[in-house]
Structure 1
Amino acid sequence: MAKTMRIRRGPVRRAGESAYGLLLVGRNVLLSGVVLLLLTAGVWSSWNTAQHAMLTKGRERGTVTIARCDAETCTGSFAPANDAGTERPKVSIDKSVTHKTGERLLVAVKPGTNEVVRTGWAGILYAWVPFAGALLLSALVVAGGLRMRRTAWVIGLLGVAQLGVTFLLL
């Protein structure tokens, strides 16, 4: 039977290895928090518009006919889809969800305002564009900081796919 040699590491080396391990764990925890913060911020900023585009039951819904556009918004008249809504001569919508004057869009009115939000798949996906941007930024942190390249590719491709489908539908 062969005798195995046992090498003992000194206390300074053991402490150094423990400190390095703690630094690695700390880096992973910190960067995971950054990824979580980015994704939470994306959801938070998307939800302001997405709730009106997705949860239309009980909201005033109808169509808007685009009459005029300026640099950031378009205005037009709102015709309600049912008798519960009121006709409005002038409502505003974000210019990036419409292409030309005379276009008719399905919309929901933000409560208490004369601002409308596009509904349907195009409106829902457009509302979640900030979250898609957060996915793209998170992919960079996951790949570079956490060294999880496959996961980063999946996250990044989800963000790109969502942006691509959104702009195809608009």
Structure 2
Amino acid sequence: MPATAVSRTSREGASAVLRFGRIAAMGAVAVLILIAGVWSSWGTAQHVMLTKGREQGAMSVTRCAGDVCTGPYTPASEGSRARARVEIEQSVAVRQGQTYAVAVKPGSSDVVRIGPSGLLYAWVPFGGALLLASVVVAGGLRLNRLAWVMGGCGLALITAAFVAL
């Protein structure tokens, strides 16, 4: 076998190994980004989505200080009790003087918004992860169509949350 044939074969083999390594590494990064987005969203989303057996009611925001708003809680579900003071994370979604439908996190005085706006807001970190992972999928995996779909879904999720709030 000529020397040029052997070197071409070894170059092609090395190129295939590098290509596989790039695909494996970028695929792992993209999956890790998406898992982190779901993990970050699930902390709030579980209380919004799985409301059976949870205390639900309304919170009137009376005071906001720092990154927390407080106010009284009025129960709406069976087995829920009224509370003089509950806390909700202050964000663009919470304004002083407003009343919001909320669910109480078990074992605490923290509440989260429920309903469509609360659900969309809970999944905003996953929308950001979709946007970030789409860049990795397009650049690292060279799967442009999948990247456009992922980015579009992430953008739609974030936009829907912004409009709903």
Identity %: 49
Gaps of 5+ in 2: none
User: Counterparts of 1:159 and 1:64 in 2: how far apart (Å)?
Assistant: 30
What corresponds to 2:25 in structure 1?
Answer: 30
User: Counterparts of 1:12 and 1:101 in 2: how far apart (Å)?
Assistant: 72
**What per-residue deviation string (whole Å, max 9, x for no partner) do you get for residues 50-97 of structure 1?**
000111110011000010112311111001103411110010111115
What corresponds to 1:43 in structure 2?
Answer: 38
User: Counterparts of 2:77 and 2:154 in 1: how far apart (Å)?
Assistant: 36
Q: Which structure has the larger Rg? A: 1
Code of the residue aligned with 1:163 in structure 2: it is I
Task: Report the alpha carbon displacement of residue 102 of structure 1 after superposing the two structures with TM.
Answer: 1.9
> How many aligned positions are there?
164
Contact 1:67 1:74 in 2 (8 A): yes
User: Counterparts of 1:63 and 1:21 in 2: how far apart (Å)?
Assistant: 59
User: Counterparts of 1:105 and 1:93 in 2: how far apart (Å)?
Assistant: 10
Q: 2:155 pairs with 154, 160, 170, which one?
A: 160
Task: Report the alpha carbon displacement of residue 98 of structure 1 after superposing the two structures with TM.
Answer: 3.5
Which stretches of structure 1, 4 residues or longer, exceed 3 Å deviation after superposition? none
What corresponds to 1:86 in structure 2?
Answer: 81
Q: What TM-score, normalized by structure 1, do the two folds share?
A: 0.91
User: What secondary structure does 1:96 align onto?
Assistant: coil
User: Counterparts of 1:56 and 1:78 in 2: how far apart (Å)?
Assistant: 17
Code of the residue aligned with 1:124 in structure 2: it is L
Code of the residue aligned with 2:39 in structure 1: it is W
Q: What TM-score, normalized by structure 2, do the two folds share?
A: 0.94
Code of the residue aligned with 1:140 in structure 2: it is V
What corresponds to 2:15 in structure 1?
Answer: 20
**What per-residue deviation string (whole Å, max 9, x for no partner) do you get for residues 23-44 of structure 1?**
1011101101111100001111
Q: 1:119 pairs with 114, 134, 157, which one?
A: 114
Gaps of 5+ in 1: 1-6
User: What secondary structure does 1:105 align onto?
Assistant: strand
The aligned runs of 1:62-141 (5 Å cut-off) are: 62-96=57-91, 98-141=93-136
User: Counterparts of 1:44 and 1:99 in 2: how far apart (Å)?
Assistant: 23
The two structures, once aligned, show a CA RMSD in angstroms of 1.6
